[in-house]
Amino acid sequence: MENRDYKKAKKLITITAIIILVTGVSIAIAVCLQGPASAGRYDNVAGTVYEVFAFIGLIGFVVGTPICLTLSIIGTECAKDAVNEGHRESHKIYVLGIFESVISGMCHLVTVFLIIFPPT
C-alpha cells in the first residue's frame, strides 16, 4: 500500500518539474529565435512564434518561480514525512524535492534581483 504523504509529494514534485521544464524550454526556444527574428530574416510568423515563446518563458520565470518554490517545499516536507514513516521509495522524491527547491529559490532570487535592478 502506498503512503499518502508519498502520493502528495510525488504529485507536487512532478508539477514543479513540469513548470520548470516548460519555462526552460520556452526560454531556450525564444533565445534561439531572437537573433533571426529581430534581424528581419524571418517572416512575421517566426516573429510571432518568438514572441509567444518569450512571453511563456517570462511569465513562467516571473510567476512560476514563487509557485514552484512553494510547491517544492511542501512536496519535500511530505516526502520527508514519508521517509520518516519508513517508505523506501520516498528517498528519490525527497532528494529531487531538495534539488528543485534550490533551483526554484535561485530563480526566484534572480527574478527579484532583475525586478529591483532592471537591465538597461
The structural domains of the chain, with segments of one domain joined by +, span 4-111
pLDDT at 95: 93
Cell 520565470 sits on residue: 61
Extract the C-alpha cell encoding 64: 512560476
Determine contact, residues 104/18, Cβ cutoff 8 Å. no
Q: What is the tens place of the pLDDT at every residue in 31-68?
A: 887 776 566 666 677 778 888 888 998 898 889 889 99
Amino acid (1-letter code) at residue 42? Y
pLDDT (0 to 100) of residue 102: 93
Listed ranges 9-13, 40-44, 50-54, 87-91; the one with the highest mean pLDDT: 9-13
CB burial class (10 A; 0-12, 13-18, 19+) of residue 99?
A: middle
pLDDT at 32: 84
Is the full-model pTM beyond 0.85?
A: no
Torsion of CA 104, 110, 112, 114, to 10 degrees: -150
